[in-house]
């Protein structure tokens, strides 16, 4: 996995990352990742689980899992949320 992570780091812009991930992943896999990211952003905004589920269509089980990893994971969600915050305050 380390080689994959390092490969992503050499990509220069969102278009290159998109092209690489579209070749690497199925559309379903990408949609699942985007879905979980949306849930993480709404959790960060403090929305209740049922509201997040209603807005995103994610099951409350998925919302609960993302919330768990947001609080007790490797810190990846937190890092990404903090770095993205200055770029997109409304999203």
Q: What is the DSSP string of 4-48?
A: HHHHHHH--SHHHHHHHHHHHS-HHHHHHHHHHHHHHHHHHTT--
What confidence score (pLDDT) does residue 86 get?
Answer: 72
Find out whether 56 and 42 touch, Cβ atoms under 8 Å: yes
What confidence score (pLDDT) does residue 39 get?
Answer: 97
Q: Report whether pLDDT(89) > 70.
A: no
Q: Is residue 59 part of a domain?
A: yes
The mean pLDDT value of the chain amounts to 94
- CATH for 40: 1.10.1270.10
Range of the domain at 41: 2-84
pTM for this prediction:
0.86
Q: Is residue 90 part of a domain?
A: no
Q: Is residue 43 part of a domain?
A: yes
Domain count, the chain: 1
Q: What percent of the chain has pLDDT over 90?
A: 92
Q: Is residue 91 part of a domain?
A: no
CA distance 10 to 8: 6
* CA–CA distances in Å: residue 12 to residues 2, 16, 33: 18, 6, 21
Average pLDDT over residues 63-82: 96
Q: Is residue 32 part of a domain?
A: yes
């Amino acid at each position: 996995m380390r080689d994959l992570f390092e490969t992503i780091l050499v990509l220069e812009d969102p278009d290159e990352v998109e092209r690489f991930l579209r070749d690497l992943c199925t559309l379903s896999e990408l949609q699942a990742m985007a879905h979980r990211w949306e849930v993480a952003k709404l959790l960060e905004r403090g929305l209740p689980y049922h509201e997040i589920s209603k807005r995103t269509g994610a099951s409350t089980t998925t919302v609960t899992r993302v919330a768990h990893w947001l609080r007790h994971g490797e810190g990846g969600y937190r890092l990404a949320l903090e770095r993205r915050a200055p770029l997109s305050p409304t999203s």
